[in-house]
Chains A and B, each alone.
Chain A
């Protein structure tokens, strides 16, 4: 084993585009990110160094990945209509995540709200046409965001099965042919002035548990009444800005609602597996990079005057680390494939309890392993583990939030209990 490409992924799952896409992104990562990423922490507020790298990844002046989900007739690559949409997304998340997890998050979250209107079988052509120019004709990076979390309930909004949306306080009121939105959201990736387009999960009837009253409405960031706070300073994830967002009598056309009553709740359930599969990809990418760094370290540093890797005890630790990376990668592609089976006779819809539960299980497992092996790898490096020069500590700081987001570990556990044990009241 000399190359991180040799970590297992089920080859029969891999899309025909895989090799080409990986090669292009890896070239970008090695040239535009890897040499500069140690400076990203100090660039968290302004993105002076980070922004040009995004432009070369997402904008038409570079690879142009931000248009990938859009149909070809609207100027995109048609990945949203591909049978391998999840698997390709996993590969993208992995390759960008290898270089910088936060960049991977910011980039992939741009896809996240767009999946609701661009991925078969739920393509909303009117909205797709409306927003295609914003993403497909731009030379520079253009970001989107999913403004989900609210101040009072944290991850409650993701627990739609239990709450039925009754805790949601962001309210959309229909006035003529416009939605008028009021509310306060926290923490969306690509907030803090980054995103040009938000999707806003909200309620049309405060306190209602009827899922028909749950709505997902697109809101361009420059719309009057949208206010974004400054970015939060965080432990890591410098390339991903997060802030408060206030919606104050924000008016958008009524057809900016993603799909309408009931369907919006289903779509909301469908975006969760996208977020989970991408999360696994981010972590696998970081873990592949960990392997590269660790390989070099244990080959050149010594214990008892022998390379670290030649000591039986240390070998048992790094062997377990490599084994965990291998297993996590297999599981991540299995999760992606679960998403790609959504339209197959033997698959399950991605809004189903089956997919929601199993994907959360996989994400929970991969997160735990990732957090554990990064911590362990820092210990292997000993006094160098906390040193930014080795990059492992950056990944360690970055990936922790992946374990915590989207309802975190506890929601994953509750979903598993509900599904496997038919729990009724959790």
Chain B
């Protein structure tokens, strides 16, 4: 591949300031040096290197503190205007390893509810930042509402069952919830962010420290992809948390969805870009029909074009969403119905596009694409896992309903 990725997959560079570009460049260097240039070694020692590379990213470069305000020792990327920069960071991480990307995306999503202007909660940040964004690597886990079980009558968040509850008790809250399925890292999380219903069935979010004795984790799940993130079902059995650990402002759950769609979109775009690099190399080194370079065959070229097309448009969508989030005065806050809906529409589209790009590219790579040796199959599994999680319920049923509700003013769906 002779051309630089950013010259091919263009994006509105003016959305990212020069300081942010330097951080993004650092992360690209990390990705190239620690993972992409040594894929084989990384694959063979995955469990060990997954932790080491996460540490170098989060502690040495310091990305664990990316979205903390400067006065809390962070980079100060805690303003919606930073959305394009944060999405860019996730793209660079996703290009290296989607599982590391998902862990980062979830962490920034949860922190966005705490640190992002105009809802910066100083007291909560004072309490959490030293513990969860300090000198040790800490993992966050997010539990969203989703499917219910037959026979249950649960409170709902826009159709999705809220399976956890909070109840006020003296000077704090008590959290309950059984066999909840997080997006990530249930087996190892240091801090959970769980969408709960309060006594009036109103949705809110609760932050639950993972070291509480009443947090019960199930066995680590084996999943299609992202296995390094060590997910597991979690139960909260009368877990007591401080009052400040519950955030119940209007639109806070929508904010989570907005940021999660942006940031997981960033991860998947990055993975798609790396897949593009791999399939590009493949198409230049393979011959078909007895000697023609694969990419020079019109049929193969059309498949390659599909790969490029899907990744290219996904990146544009990503920055469209980032720009929308970055301008609350124009489009509303991240928890507004408009931005929340747009985030879901674009988030879903990005996952579909990248999935299609990889599926198409695999058609050209054939068996090699299926073999772990060539690394692309990991991208394929990881993206499908992200997509399935983001679908939530019934193949995006809630996303479709949210979209129809916003665009057509549906009242009863």
CA distance A287 to B146 in the complex (A): 26
Which of B156, B183, B370 is A404 in contact with, Cβ under 8 Å? B370
Question: What chain A residues lie within 8 Å of B148 (beta carbons)?
Answer: 301-303, 305
- Any chain B CB within 8 A of the CB of A331? no
Q: Assuming A235-B372, A375-B384, is B394 touching A303 (CB within 8 A)? A: yes
Which of A166, A303, A413 is B147 in contact with, Cβ under 8 Å? A303
- Any chain A CB within 8 A of the CB of B275? no
**B395 x A404 contact (CB < 8 A):** no
Which of B181, B222, B355, B397 is A314 in contact with, Cβ under 8 Å? B397
Q: Assuming A159-B289, A303-B148, A404-B362, is B370 touching A235 (CB within 8 A)? A: yes
**A404 x B366 contact (CB < 8 A):** yes
CA distance A405 to B362 in the complex (A): 11
Question: What chain B residues lie within 8 Å of A300 (beta carbons)?
Answer: 149-150
**B149 x A383 contact (CB < 8 A):** no
Interface string of A292-317 (1 = CB under 8 A from B): 00000011111111011001011001
**A301 x B159 contact (CB < 8 A):** no
In whole Å, how far is B38's beta carbon from the nearest beta carbon of chain A?
Answer: 18
- Any chain B CB within 8 A of the CB of A54? no
**B286 x A154 contact (CB < 8 A):** yes
In whole Å, how far is B142's beta carbon from the nearest beta carbon of chain A?
Answer: 11
Stretch at the interface among A217-225, A261-269, A335-343, A385-393: A385-393
Nearest opposing residue in chain A for B362, CB measure: A404
Question: What chain B residues lie within 8 Å of A232 (beta carbons)?
Answer: 371-373
Interface residues on A, range: 35 or more
Q: Assuming A153-B287, A403-B363, A410-B363, is B389 touching A386 (CB within 8 A)? A: yes
In whole Å, how far is A26's beta carbon from the nearest beta carbon of chain B?
Answer: 26
CA distance A375 to B355 in the complex (A): 10
Interface string of A142-182 (1 = CB under 8 A from B): 00000001001111100100110011000000000000000
- Any chain A CB within 8 A of the CB of B242? no
Which of A237, A304, A314, A388 is B156 in contact with, Cβ under 8 Å? A304
CA distance A403 to B366 in the complex (A): 9
- Any chain B CB within 8 A of the CB of A400? yes
- Any chain B CB within 8 A of the CB of A382? yes
CA distance A305 to B199 in the complex (A): 18
Question: What chain B residues lie within 8 Å of A385 (beta carbons)?
Answer: 224, 388, 391
Q: Assuming A154-B366, A408-B366, A413-B299, is B181 touching A383 (CB within 8 A)? A: yes
CA distance A393 to B227 in the complex (A): 14
Which of B221, B371, B397 is A303 in contact with, Cβ under 8 Å? B397
Question: What chain B residues lie within 8 Å of A302 (beta carbons)?
Answer: 147-150, 152, 161
**B397 x A410 contact (CB < 8 A):** no
Q: Which positions 227-271 of chain B face chain A at CB distance < 8 Å?
A: none
Which of B149, B290, B385 is A153 in contact with, Cβ under 8 Å? B290
Question: What chain A residues lie within 8 Å of B385 (beta carbons)?
Answer: 386
- Any chain B CB within 8 A of the CB of A401? yes
Which of B160, B288, B387, B401 is A156 in contact with, Cβ under 8 Å? B288
**B161 x A371 contact (CB < 8 A):** no
Question: What chain B residues lie within 8 Å of A327 (beta carbons)?
Answer: none
**A408 x B372 contact (CB < 8 A):** no
CA distance A375 to B396 in the complex (A): 13
- Any chain B CB within 8 A of the CB of A248? no
- Any chain A CB within 8 A of the CB of B45? no
**A382 x B367 contact (CB < 8 A):** no
Question: What chain B residues lie within 8 Å of A314 (beta carbons)?
Answer: 393-395, 397
Which of A382, A397, A404 is B394 in contact with, Cβ under 8 Å? A382
- Any chain A CB within 8 A of the CB of B316? no
Q: Assuming A384-B181, A400-B362, A405-B367, is B152 touching A305 (CB within 8 A)? A: yes
Nearest opposing residue in chain A for B294, CB measure: A154
Interface string of B278-301 (1 = CB under 8 A from A): 000000001111110000000110
CA distance A383 to B233 in the complex (A): 11
**A235 x B381 contact (CB < 8 A):** yes
Question: What chain B residues lie within 8 Å of A154 (beta carbons)?
Answer: 286, 288, 366
Question: What chain B residues lie within 8 Å of A155 (beta carbons)?
Answer: 288, 366
CA distance A376 to B396 in the complex (A): 10
CA distance A382 to B288 in the complex (A): 39
CA distance A387 to B148 in the complex (A): 17
**A386 x B388 contact (CB < 8 A):** yes
CA distance A261 to B299 in the complex (A): 33
Nearest opposing residue in chain A for B401, CB measure: A313
Q: Which positions 372-424 of chain A face chain B at CB distance < 8 Å?
A: 375-376, 378-389, 393, 396-397, 400-401, 403-405, 408-410, 413-414
Q: Which positions 355-379 of chain B face chain A at CB distance < 8 Å?
A: 355, 359, 362-367, 369-373, 377
**B387 x A379 contact (CB < 8 A):** yes
CA distance A289 to B397 in the complex (A): 24
CA distance A397 to B384 in the complex (A): 10
**B393 x A313 contact (CB < 8 A):** no
Nearest opposing residue in chain B for A371, CB measure: B359
**B388 x A379 contact (CB < 8 A):** yes
Nearest opposing residue in chain B for A38, CB measure: B222
Q: Assuming A235-B377, A305-B156, A383-B146, is B289 touching A410 (CB within 8 A)? A: no
**A153 x B384 contact (CB < 8 A):** no
CA distance A284 to B388 in the complex (A): 23
In whole Å, how far is B23's beta carbon from the nearest beta carbon of chain A?
Answer: 31
CA distance A21 to B381 in the complex (A): 35
Q: Assuming A234-B377, A305-B148, A378-B388, is B224 touching A386 (CB within 8 A)? A: yes
In whole Å, how far is B27's beta carbon from the nearest beta carbon of chain A?
Answer: 26
Question: What chain B residues lie within 8 Å of A288 (beta carbons)?
Answer: none
Nearest opposing residue in chain B for A404, CB measure: B366
Question: What chain A residues lie within 8 Å of B172 (beta carbons)?
Answer: none
Question: What chain B residues lie within 8 Å of A387 (beta carbons)?
Answer: 221-223
Q: Tell which of B224, B381, B396 has the most Cβ of chain A within 10 Å.
A: B224
- Any chain A CB within 8 A of the CB of B21? no
Nearest opposing residue in chain B for A237, CB measure: B370
Which of A186, A236, A383, A414 is B367 in contact with, Cβ under 8 Å? A186
Nearest opposing residue in chain B for A388, CB measure: B222
CA distance A389 to B287 in the complex (A): 41
- Any chain B CB within 8 A of the CB of A87? no
Which of A159, A234, A313 is B400 in contact with, Cβ under 8 Å? A313
CA distance A72 to B159 in the complex (A): 62
Which of B146, B373, B391 is A379 in contact with, Cβ under 8 Å? B391
In whole Å, how far is B354's beta carbon from the nearest beta carbon of chain A?
Answer: 13
9 new A-B contacts at CB < 8 Å, known A162-B289, A305-B154, A404-B365: A233-B372, A299-B150, A303-B397, A313-B394, A378-B387, A378-B388, A383-B146, A403-B363, A410-B364
Q: Which 8 residue pairs across A and B have the least CB separation, nearest first? A: A385-B388, A314-B394, A379-B395, A302-B148, A386-B224, A235-B377, A386-B385, A386-B223
A interface list, Cβ under 8 A from B: 38, 41, 149, 152-156, 159, 162-163, 166-167, 186-187, 232-237, 242, 298-305, 307-308, 311, 313-314, 317, 371, 375-376, 378-389, 393, 396-397, 400-401, 403-405, 408-410, 413-414
